[in-house]
């Protein structure tokens, strides 16, 4: 988040006047035209964080750790350092270095909680929120890796309740649900989708998942401003057409991301994006449900959920898919 500076005029114009009856008043000085307002400072680019991510993507955890160490020695435990700790924790988990993952997750959690305070202040603390969410996820992954799946799910459920009570931002709460879903949603009944006050866009009115038993269902959960969601549109459109005559039901839930006062404007954007970007048949309903989007762990990335004829989730994929991969998943549903 940019932290701009508000500049207020500092100079006051003074006017000299003469109290003598025969004196002419001294004219007021001509005001000096104000100069251009100072621009908001450009945030310092997070160059070290970028290189940490590069090293992690190359599987080079020791170099990522070294960059993090050097950053702290030079610049202290600033915002970039906190994000770096979170990324190193995530990188260690990706490489299955669980002792390191747990150590960095602990550091990220403690630093984040210190910054947020006893009664968490989430505004202007996006770095702390990200680090806390990462720590929660990595700790759960470490438990699963240790064969403690139930403990991992219990920890995620506890974290979810705490974050809800603390009125944490939607994104961090959705991330916790996403991690839980990645661990336990496949093989479980698909959570129901109930539109907020029956709200929906598109041609068809949404049906409950329970009423769709006996049919394969593909859920595409999206956000109208999500770039990855929009990039998915063409492949999704071709896939819907490909399976139109094979009994597959497509449902595309979304939610409102703005305030209640922005609801009407945002609904218009959802309708516009659905019509112009996705251009899907009227048979594909778009239920608007905050609870469903949260439960399915959707923030700002496209998420696909595949549900068999018995209403059981066969796969949960919270990212973009090629048309080929979409077809492979649907073909599994049709067997």
Domain that holds residue 88: 47-184
* Rounded mean pLDDT, 219-234: 96
pLDDT of 2 > 60? The answer is no
Whether residues 179 and 206 fall in one domain: no
The CATH number linked to 164 is 1.25.40
Residue at 96 is within a domain: yes
Same domain, 328 and 228: yes
Look at residue 300 in the predicted model and tell me its pLDDT: 74
pLDDT tens digits for 65-117?
Answer: 999 999 999 999 999 999 999 999 999 999 999 999 999 999 999 999 999 99
> Is the domain of 241 the same as that of 307?
yes
**Inside any domain, residue 151:** yes
The pTM assigned to this predicted structure is: 0.84
The set of long-range contacts for 49-57, using a CB threshold of 8 Å and a minimum separation of 24, is 49/80, 49/83, 49/84, 49/87, 52/84, 52/87, 52/88, 52/91, 53/87, 55/91, 56/87, 56/88, 56/90, 56/91, 56/94
Tokens of 86: 């979170």
Backbone dihedral angles phi then psi of residue 49, each to the nearest 5 degrees: -60, -40
For residue 13, what pLDDT is reported? 35
Say yes or no: 233 and 329 in one domain: yes
232-274 pLDDT, tens digit each: 999 999 999 999 899 999 999 999 998 889 999 999 999 999 9
Measured from the Cβ of residue 33, the count of other Cβ atoms closer than 10 Å reads 5
Residue 274 and residue 202 in contact, taking contact as beta carbons nearer than 8 Å: yes
- Given the structure tokens 């705490």, which residue do they identify? 162
Domain boundary, last residue among 163, 184, 205: 184
CA distances to 21, 23, 30 from 26, in Å: 13, 9, 12
- Answer whether residue 34 is part of any domain: no
Q: How far is CA 74 from the centre of its chain?
A: 31
The answer to whether residues 77 and 147 belong to one domain is yes
Whether 121 is in a domain gets the answer yes
Burial track 132-147 (b if 16+ CB lie within 10 A, e otherwise): bbbbbbbbbbbbbeee
Total domains, the chain: 2
282 located within any domain: yes
- The predicted model gives 193-198 an average pLDDT of 92
Q: Are the C-beta atoms of residues 177 and 291 closer than 8 Å to each other?
A: no
pLDDT computed for residue 203 by the predictor: 79
Residues 55 and 168 in one domain: yes
CA pair distance 233, 324, nearest whole angstrom: 14
Residue 69 contacts residue 85 (beta carbons within 8 Å): no
- For 281-293, how does the pLDDT look when each residue is reduced to its tens digit (9 = 90+)? 999 999 999 999 9
Contact between 192 and 295 (Cβ < 8 Å): no
User: Which residues are 316's β-sheet partners?
Assistant: 305
Are 239 and 325 in contact by the 8 Å Cβ rule? The answer is no
| Residue 16 within a domain | no
The helix (run of H) or strand (run of E) holding residue 303 is strand 303-307
Distance CA 248, CA 251 (A): 10
Mark which of 125, 153, 184 sits at the end of a domain.
184
Beta partners for residue 249, in sequence order: 217
Judged by DSSP in three states, 313 sits in strand
List phi, psi (to 5°) of 217: -125, 135
DSSP string, 218-265: EEEE--TT-HHHHHTHHHHHHHHHHTTTTT-EEE--B---S-GGGHHH
User: Can you read off the two tokens belonging to residue 255?
Assistant: 């939610």
Final residue before a domain boundary, out of 162, 184, 206:
184
Q: Residue 169: inside a domain, yes or no?
A: yes
184: phi then psi, degrees, rounded to nearest 5: -135, -5
109 CB neighbour count, 10 Å cutoff: 21
Identify the CATH number of the domain in which residue 282 sits.
Answer: 3.40.30.10
How far is residue 331's CA from residue 112's CA, in Å, rounded to a whole number? Answer: 44
Distance from C-alpha of 280 to C-alpha of 6, rounded to nearest angstrom: 46
Q: Which two tokens stand for residue 177?
A: 């649900």
Is 314 contained in some domain?
A: yes
pLDDT tens digits for range 126-156: 999 999 999 999 999 999 999 999 999 999 9
């Amino acid at each position: 988040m940019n932290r701009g500076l508000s500049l207020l005029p500092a100079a006051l114009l003074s006017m000299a006047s003469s109290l003598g009856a025969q004196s002419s008043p001294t004219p007021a000085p001509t005001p000096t035209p104000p100069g251009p307002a100072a621009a908001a400072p450009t945030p310092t680019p997070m160059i070290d964080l970028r290189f940490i991510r590069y090293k992690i993507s190359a599987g080079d955890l020791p170099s990522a750790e070294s960059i993090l160490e050097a950053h702290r020695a030079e610049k202290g435990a600033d915002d970039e350092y906190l994000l770096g700790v979170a990324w190193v924790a995530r990188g260690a988990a990706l490489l299955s270095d669980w002792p390191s993952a747990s150590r960095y997750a602990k550091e990220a959690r403690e630093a984040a909680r210190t910054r947020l305070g006893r009664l968490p202040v989430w505004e202007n603390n996006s770095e702390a929120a990200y680090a806390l969410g990462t720590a929660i996820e990595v700790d759960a992954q470490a438990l699963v890796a240790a064969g403690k799946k139930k403990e991992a799910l219990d920890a995620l459920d506890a974290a979810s309740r705490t974050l809800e009570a603390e009125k944490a931002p939607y994104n961090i709460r959705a991330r916790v649900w996403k991690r839980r879903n990645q661990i336990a949603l496949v093989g479980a009944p698909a959570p129901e989708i109930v539109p907020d006050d029956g709200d929906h866009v598109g041609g068809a009115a949404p049906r409950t998942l329970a009423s769709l038993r006996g049919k394969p269902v593909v859920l595409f959960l999206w956000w109208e401003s999500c770039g990855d969601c929009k990039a998915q549109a063409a492949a999704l459109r071709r896939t819907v057409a490909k399976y139109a005559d094979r009994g597959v039901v497509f449902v595309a839930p979304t939610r409102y991301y703005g305030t209640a006062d922005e609801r009407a404007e945002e609904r218009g954007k959802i309708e516009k994006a659905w019509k112009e970007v996705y251009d899907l048949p009227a048979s594909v309903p778009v239920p608007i449900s905050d609870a469903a989007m949260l439960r399915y762990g959707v923030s700002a990335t496209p998420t696909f959920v595949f549900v068999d004829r018995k209403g059981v989730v066969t796969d949960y994929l919270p990212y973009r898919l090629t048309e080929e991969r979409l077809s492979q998943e649907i073909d599994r549903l049709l067997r």
